[in-house]
A and B are shown apart, each in its own frame.
Chain A
Amino acid sequence: MFESIDQVIDQLREQQYICDRRLATVIFLALKMQKPVLIEGPAGVGKTELAKVVALALNRQMIRLQCYEGLDEARALYEWEYSKQLLYTQILREKIGRTLEHVTDLREAVAQIRHHEDAFFSEHFIVRRPILQALLAPEPVVLLIDEIDRAEEQFEAFLLEVLSDFQVSIPELGTIKATAPPAVVITSNNTRELSDALKRRCLHLTIGYPGEARELEIVRLKVPEISETLAQQVVEVIRRVRALDLRKAPSISETLDWARALILLNAESLTPELVEETLQLILKYDRDVQKVTRELPKLLGGSGADSQHHHDHDHHHHHDAGMQAALERQREHTADYFSSYRGNTRS
């Protein structure tokens, strides 16, 4: 268990996850208050990763439930193992006969059988799906409910009981309560609005794209073999690409992929040709690639040669820093909100 917010930051850093205070505060509170965390943000900013590293840092098992369209309680909570039940009835036929050997009338037989009824509706015959697994684990675990916005609204309703009381009601068995309440992390890519009831039960956290310094730190940590100049150039170009009006802006995961690819290509610094050749790595849509290619000279201006770099530095100073930051935040905020654009792709 984390004892303080600083400890959260430190321990996550040990697991190679850089987080700011805001994020650490929410994680700390969630664990202390035993409440689920709902993380929203664009794809690839480390939402899922966060659950993984929390599990690692706490030395807990992580149980993951990937949501998809059509996910139902039989896949998420539990399912009766009917074939096993049937098999057991067959095998035990003789045994049942013997139990009823001395019984004279039907009424008595029914009474006899009733005694043994619960043998067939016991936990023994239940297939434990991720949520039940998490509840029944002897040690507390981290339960990751990934991309909940992919599942239907009805699915959220199944989750409510689990999230508020860490229990599941199975009609035949009664209520199963968690032996050790799991830490629950729910992620959403914000493709649709989640219900208020779900939101109310969770602590809410929005992760956006990281600031320049933090992104640089992440690149250095995750791709340790990268040279300082290249890291800086990569982060700078990525930030400028994000500022463009794109269908899918590159996230941290794309930054890291790109950095790793550049290392494989033995690049020491970015050149326009190199960027153009590797653009496919950070952009997922053809239209975006075309747009960025057009803007390429502007994007690379100031990050190519050292002399230019100097110029860029000055450029930044001219701006009012506070204003710049505010505008940037505003832009990121709106860009983050509806993260994935699905209009044309899924009609």
Chain B
Amino acid sequence: MDAVVNRFIHVLKLNGLRISPAETIDALRGLTLTALAERELVREILACTLIKDARDLPVFEHLFEVFFQLPDVPHDHHHHHDHDHDHDEPGDPTRIALQPDEPGINQNEHTHDEPSDVRDYFDPEKMVSMFNLHREPNRLSLSSLSQHLILNRNKGLLDLVMKRLTHHLRTRRVKNISQPGELNFGAALEELELDLIAGAAAALQDDLAAMDVDEALLERLAQQIDGVIANLPELLKGYIERELALRANEAQAHELEHLESAYNYRFNEHERRQMDELVRRIGRQMRGARSTRRTVSSSGRINLSRTLRGNLKYDGVPFHPILANRRDERPRLVLICDVSLSVRNTARFMLHLVYSLQALFSKVRSFVFVSDLTEITAEIERSSLDEAIGRVFGGELLDTDENSNYGRALEIFHERYLAAVTSRTTLIILGDGRGNQRQPNAWILEELRRRCKQLIWLTPEGRPSWQLGGSDMPTYAPICHRVEVVRNLDQLGRVAEDLARTSFVGWR
């Protein structure tokens, strides 16, 4: 059981979830406290001990479904039903651990109804020659790898490989693979080139190296090259079917995917965390409101209780008054983000930054503009990142096809939301400052600067290009406390470091 859970956690980690050893131990401890009769129970125990962020839950649930598969996973394609029953893992996790190696059964069960033309693409002899070309002593062939995976109950890893393969397939413009109902598998396989399989095999080997595997077993498996390759299409097919079944339920997600193709700056889990980390670091450096709690300092009001206690040694005579003062607290932020065409490439990144800032700090108001300006604080609060971004670019909130008009946007902000900017606020504007030759209304920016604590402008364009074609950045830049060029995470990281060095004191 331990091995299975550890492997599952390994799979979770591979998918970008962060799980500490302490949490692993918690999960194992939790599992020993209950009888492992129920699958649901195992899932709940693993979920509550391993997953600490509600946003990670869907990933966890998906991987759990895949890893600890039930025999009766609902399928749209009935003719494959019997086949699925054969090779799926039993629902009882304890049985997964105890499942004996049965190469014979595994080899035979898949060969009954597959089309011969599909198998041609996986001609065993071709594959064998291909992989034996390398002649490296420790190099395993794909077939034995996958066989090993099947035998060694490594469903999770196999699925990962399949995922990679299907991902490659998708990127190669196999559109019909996502058509629900009809499964044009042959066409998909045509696209599956051998180098892709080789890549997957290499990745698999990395995965294997990370695991503890019995040398002798590997040796034995390496000799059983035949057979499994023939099963691969079948497995792949099963996987794609399952993917399809999953995706059919995610109509909305699919829609979003479509939307995003235009703005294909997509964050993976790792980058999301990196962003969060950076935003936190930046936030620590920003000065905001005075805190409600007082801490001991060299100036400020006398703290009675501490003074009396500290001066007990002088018989209660306050020789050494102890002063306490309010400290600067986390900042209040107002974010104004340009989402027009001219920043199309970076708008997603900027919105992501906005989202992270709002998620991490409690007092944030966010606005987006093209020509009109609108508040999206509520949208961000209520929906997931992708949804929020989809809404902004979907044109529901404002007309994104307009040309950006900084002057007008500033005017609207000045008119309606000026109250949001107080002496405690840090105002961050994200945009390239290209107002398309319209009135820049710099006076509004000046007034905003006077009202706020700091005014920071993050622009995706480097300084040299400000001189080119109608950028108002030269007008706006001197007004701001600080202008930074930020286009990606690296640059954001540099800004964070920079802020830490200069620590903002100079420009309060």
Contact = CB atoms under 8 A, between A and B. Distances in A.
B54 A192 contact: no
11 contacts: A32-B33, A152-B293, A152-B329, A203-B49, A204-B49, A204-B51, A326-B249, A327-B249, A334-B382, A335-B382, A342-B362
Contacts of B20: 200
Interface string B22-33: 110010011001
Contact of B384 (A22, A203, A204, A334): A334
Interface string A5-47: 1000000000000000110011011001101001010000000
B308 A204 contact: no
B62 to A, nearest CB: 12
Interface stretch (B37-45, B79-87, B442-450): B37-45
A69 B362 CA distance: 11
B184 interface: no
Interface residues of A, number: 59
Given A341-B377, A343-B378, A25 B48 contact: yes
A85 B316 CA distance: 10
A203 B293 contact: no
Nearest to A342: B362
Interface string A58-88: 0000000000011010000001101101100
B365 A347 contact: yes
Contacts of B292: 69-70
A196 interface: yes
Contacts of A341: 377-378, 381-382
A101 B74 CA distance: 90
Contacts of A336: 54
A40 B54 contact: yes
Interface in B362-403: 362-366, 375, 377-378, 380-384, 387
Interface string A240-262: 00000101000000000000000
Given A72-B293, A191-B362, A343 B381 contact: yes
Given A343-B375, A343-B378, A29 B293 contact: no
B467 interface: no
A332 to B, nearest CB: 11
Given A26-B48, A70-B291, A343 B23 contact: no
A163 B110 CA distance: 52
Contacts of B382: 245, 334-335, 338, 341
B34 interface: yes
A80 B52 contact: no
Contacts of A22: 44
Given A21-B40, A25-B45, A338 B312 contact: no
B170 to A, nearest CB: 22
Given A70-B293, A322-B249, A337 B384 contact: yes
Contacts of B18: 196
A5 B34 contact: yes
Interface in A309-347: 322-323, 326-327, 330, 333-338, 340-344, 346-347
A284 interface: no
Contacts of B22: 200
B165 interface: no
B316 A86 contact: yes
Contacts of B217: none
B53 A85 contact: no
A174 B111 CA distance: 71
Interface in A272-286: none
A293 interface: no
A82 B312 contact: yes
Lowest 5 A-B CB distances belong to which pairs? A343-B377, A70-B292, A199-B52, A82-B309, A338-B381
Contacts of A35: 26
Most buried by A among B20, B33, B293, B419: B293
Interface of B: 18, 20, 22-23, 26, 29-30, 33-34, 40-41, 44-45, 47-49, 51-55, 57-58, 74, 249-250, 252, 276, 291-293, 305, 308-309, 312, 315-316, 329-330, 359-366, 375, 377-378, 380-384, 387, 419-420
A86 B316 CA distance: 7
B95 to A, nearest CB: 21
B48 A203 contact: yes
Contacts of A152: 291, 293, 329-330
Contacts of B52: 38, 196, 199-200, 202, 204
A190 B22 CA distance: 24
Given A29-B45, A347-B419, A89 B315 contact: yes
A205 interface: yes
A200 B27 CA distance: 12
Given A200-B20, A330-B252, A337 B45 contact: no
Contacts of A247: 378
Nearest to A80: B309
A86 B315 CA distance: 8
Interface string A183-213: 0000000111100100110111110000000
A347 B420 contact: yes
Contacts of B316: 86, 89-90
B312 A89 contact: yes
A5 B52 CA distance: 22
A33 B33 contact: yes
B26 A203 contact: yes
A193 B309 contact: no
A334 B381 CA distance: 10
Contacts of A72: 293
A40 B57 CA distance: 13
Contact of B360 (A32, A38, A193): A193
A327 B254 CA distance: 13
A28 B361 CA distance: 33
A113 B130 CA distance: 87
Nearest to A25: B44
Contacts of B252: 327, 330
Given A200-B22, A337-B55, A341-B382, A29 B48 contact: yes
A102 B98 CA distance: 80
Most buried by A among B26, B315, B360, B382: B382
Contacts of B308: 82-83, 86
A173 to B, nearest CB: 14
A35 to B, nearest CB: 7
A202 to B, nearest CB: 7
A245 B378 CA distance: 11
Contacts of B49: 29, 203-204
Contact of B309 (A21, A70, A85, A323): A85
B385 to A, nearest CB: 10
Contacts of B364: 343
